């Protein structure tokens, strides 16, 4: 009887926890986004926006109030070239991926303009690098079917490429290309991790998609 009441009590008081993985090239704004997310859901916290390049990982858990009533455990991993090999160890246990793009560092964001010779021998440009890295994520079997939110970050900067261009010229072409991987939920949204604009919308999309996908990737209870 005690065990029955205990499990009923735990069921009534525990909440679902979903893991969100922040990916993207170095300097894209992942750690800045993590700081804004922490501050958004813990108003007494001041975001530390003086970030340094991440070597390893940062992690934070945010608690969403009703109606969502769940925890998001957010993993921010380093985006430098030498650290990208570590990303795949997070795929099997994540519930959604946020792929952060620096909208000021992708040229004209039109992969159709890339030369077919690009990346063969010569050093890659950042647009080519971004495409290749996103394709690698989409092709990884452990990440198959995981919802992906692409954030066109740094939209506060005057020299940014606008979100529609990033969506049509880069993201849609990668997703629809031969290395686009399995069918999955995806969305492209504008944001500024520095000012916090668009961060709430990103969280709303993530919450709805991880719940939608919870049979395929069940949450932890805590
Ligand atoms: N203007 C502007 N600057 C931003 C924004 N987001 C991040 N930055 C700046 O971009 C730089 C890199 O930000 P980080 O958050 O450290 O980048 P990261 O993706 O974590 O980089 P790695 O840890 O190396 O993978 C910092 O100088 C940030 O202040 C943004 O939305 N707007
Ligand atoms: Mg970082």
For residue 66, is pLDDT > 70?
Answer: yes
pLDDT digits (tens, 9 = 90+) for 89-141: 999 999 999 999 999 999 999 999 886 655 455 568 999 999 999 999 999 99
Structural domains of the chain, count: 1
Q: From residue 87, give the alpha-carbon distance in Å to each of 33, 56, 142, 151, 164.
A: 18, 10, 11, 18, 27
- Residue located nearest, by CA, to atom 28 of ligand 1: 29
Instruction: State which of 23, 39, 50, 51 you would mutate to test the pocket of ligand 1, scoring each by most atoms of that ligand within 8 A of its C-beta.
Output: 51
Q: Yes or no: say if 128 and 118 are a contact pair by the CB < 8 Å rule.
A: yes
Cβ of 26 below 6 Å from ligand 1:
yes
Question: 106: domain range?
Answer: 2-221
CATH at 121: 3.40.50.300
What mean pLDDT is predicted for residues 145-170?
98
pLDDT score, position 48:
94
Mean pLDDT over 13-33 rounds to 96
**Number of helices (H) and strands (E), helices first, in the chain?**
7, 7
pTM: 0.94
Residue identified by tokens 């009534």 is 12
SS3 (DSSP) at 97:
strand
Q: What is the pLDDT of residue 81?
A: 97
β-sheet bridge partners, residue 62: 72
């Amino acid at each position: 009887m005690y065990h029955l009441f205990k499990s009923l009590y735990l069921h009534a008081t525990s909440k679902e926890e979903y893991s969100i993985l922040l990916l993207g090239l170095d300097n894209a704004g992942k750690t800045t986004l993590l700081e804004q997310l922490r501050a958004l859901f813990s108003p007494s916290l001041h975001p530390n926006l003086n970030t340094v390049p991440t070597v390893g990982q940062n992690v934070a858990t945010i608690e969403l109030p009703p109606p969502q009533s769940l925890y998001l455990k957010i993993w921010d991993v380093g985006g430098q070239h030498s650290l990208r090999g570590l990303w795949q160890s997070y795929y099997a246990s994540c519930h959604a991926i946020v792929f952060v793009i620096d909208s000021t560092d992708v040229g004209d964001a039109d992969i159709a303009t890339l030369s077919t010779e690009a990346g063969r021998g010569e050093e890659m440009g950042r647009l080519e690098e971004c495409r290749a890295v996103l394709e690698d994520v989409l092709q990884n079997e452990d990440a198959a079917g995981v919802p992906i939110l692409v954030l066109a970050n740094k939209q506060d900067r005057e020299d940014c490429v606008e979100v529609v261009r990033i969506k049509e010229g880069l993201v849609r072409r990668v997703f629809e290309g031969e290395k686009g991987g399995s069918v999955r939920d995806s969305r492209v949204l504008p944001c500024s991790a520095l000012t916090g604009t668009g961060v709430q919308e990103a969280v709303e999309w993530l919450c709805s998609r991880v719940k939608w996908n919870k049979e395929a990737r069940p949450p932890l209870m805590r």
